Structure 1
Amino acid sequence: MIVDSHAHYDDEQFDTDRDEVLNSIRQQGVVRVVNPSSNLESARKCIELSEKYDILYCAVGIHPHDANEFSKNALESVRKLASFKKVVAIGEIGLDYHYNFSPPELQKECFAAHIQLALELKLPVIIHDREAHRDTLDIIRAERGYMAGGVFHCFSGSVEMAKEVLDLGFYIALGGAVTFKNAKKPVEVAGYVPLDRLLVETDSPYMAPVPYRGKRNNSGYLHEIIRKISEIRNEDFNVIAETTAKNANILFGLGL
């Protein structure tokens, strides 16, 4: 049993063969996929897809790239979308100072407001943090985001950063980067994180693992990510797969 804790099957890259891909990953042992949104349009599409495919669950929220879309009305729309049955989290939300597609101050405002919404709705959060580690943690502490709980997706920080995240009660999700030839931090983190706080993800269609790097990613490639983590930790593949699936099921309230 494998759970992909983060993939984007609402992406247009899957518009021509979505049925085929989702049927294929099911045959490869992937039983559930959490599909976060990036803005209101993708949130609506995520919900539509979750109603069509039993394997898909969704998260709703405004990604830092799209923080220019944020307003009180937009947040109210997120609140309404979160009431749909298969919405299991608020996300993905956070800060991204690598691209700065939206002004940092607006990203912070959007992030803080979504944390408050998650607390109100009693939903976990899916955190996007790129080159914004300190501000991300500061906002989580200031807004008591640790009370909502959640996961730092596609974790890119150091072991020291991972310790802070774990101390706040969050899960850490690792993806394709852990398989990259020159990966250092993800490998160190993979060996450090307690197994009961670890999730796996693909971030499909992005971040395909070796040997598929550069191709469109899909949840079937989780086998490569789990295999690499099992090598790093010197633990059985099935133990990693089943425990990370259990962790995702617990975090997102999906049942066991």
Structure 2
Amino acid sequence: MFLVDSHCHLDGLDYQTLHHSVDDVLAKAAARDVNFFLAVATTLPGYTAMRELIGQRENVAFSCGVHPLNQDEEYDPETLRELAAHEGVVALGETGLDYFYTPETKERQQQSFRHHIRIGRELNKPVIVHTRDAREDTLSILREEKVTDCGGVLHCFTEDRETAGKLLDMGFYISFSGIVTFRNAEQLRDAARYVPLDRLLVETDSPYLAPVPHRGKENQPAYVRDVAEYMAVLKGVSVDELAAATTENFATLFHIDPSRLQKS
């Protein structure tokens, strides 16, 4: 079995008390058949620091972007373009809209979201989208900026079946995190059953949102195995089948050579 953690913040883990190093984190994941990782940035300085922390690894790819909750300071879109063009960067983001925590930066969030999609189209790299309390604006901007030209994924999906359908119509992939295992997430489980197997991804979003039975602890890439096992039951397939499908989907979306997604 080969699993991919399609969205994790490797720079945000506890390297003081829980993990000795990035190598330690990845070894714990490999012990549970999680063998490839997409390390996602939330600021431009954070992207640079994250690449220094992780270094060049055959089993880690990067995404470069500015999170909608980090719009308190302006950034230069040209710098985003330059960094996103780096070798090893397979996506723009995470980007998107979050009106739940910072509605006061709504206008800046929307402008930033548009910048990410435009650069994604220019570089032929997909966008990783975060949305919270901003469903209609998220869908509208994706359409207006012709996101179908570069593709993308709605990560850590928490919306309903209807929203999933609209994203699928745009060619989007949909990624599920540990939230799908939470007791009160029945609407989300309904959406997970609806999304076809060839458009699914699994992720941890670590260090956040650890799945049951680890809820309350710091999340880590190893726990994507728990998400995959839960999703396999929801989809009525074996975990091996779900792992194979989500790994293939990951390679397709992020233009990654499938030979990198095999155990050596």
TM-score over 0.5 for the pair: yes
Match of 2:9 in 1: 8
| Offset, 1:102 | 5.5
Structure 1 segments (4+ residues) deviating >4 Å? none
CA contact (8 A) 2:175 2:202 kept: yes
Match of 2:262 in 1: none
| Offset, 1:65 | 0.7
SS at match of 2:213: coil
Match of 1:223 in 2: 225
| Offset, 1:160 | 0.4
1:210-252 deviations in whole A, cap 9, x for unaligned? 0000101111111211111111111111000111011011111
Determine if the alignment matches structure 1 residue 136 to structure 2 residue 130.
Answer: no
Mapping for residues 111-190 of structure 1, pairs under 5 Å: 111-190=113-192
5+ residue gaps, structure 2: 259-264
Moved more, 161-170 or 228-237: 228-237
Instruction: Return the alpha-carbon distance in structure 2 between the equivalents of residues 79 and 216 of structure 1.
Output: 32
Mapping for residues 37-52 of structure 1, pairs under 5 Å: 37-52=41-56
Identify if the C-alpha distance between structure 1 residues 118 and 209 changes in structure 2 by more than 3 Å, giving closer, same or farther. Answer: same
CA contact (8 A) 1:47 1:87 kept: no
Identify if the C-alpha distance between structure 1 residues 190 and 12 changes in structure 2 by more than 3 Å, giving closer, same or farther. Answer: closer
- Which structure has more relative contact order (CA 8 Å, sep 6+)? It is 2
Aligned residues: 254
Instruction: Return the alpha-carbon distance in structure 2 between the equivalents of residues 84 and 254 of structure 1.
Output: 15
CA contact (8 A) 1:46 1:58 kept: no
Match of 1:29 in 2: 33
Kindly provide the amino acid, as one letter, of the partner of residue 177 in structure 1: I
Relative to the length of structure 1, the TM-score reads 0.95
Match of 2:58 in 1: 54
Identity of aligned residues (%): 39
Instruction: Return the alpha-carbon distance in structure 2 between the equivalents of residues 8 and 102 of structure 1.
Output: 26
5+ residue gaps, structure 1: none
Relative to the length of structure 2, the TM-score reads 0.92
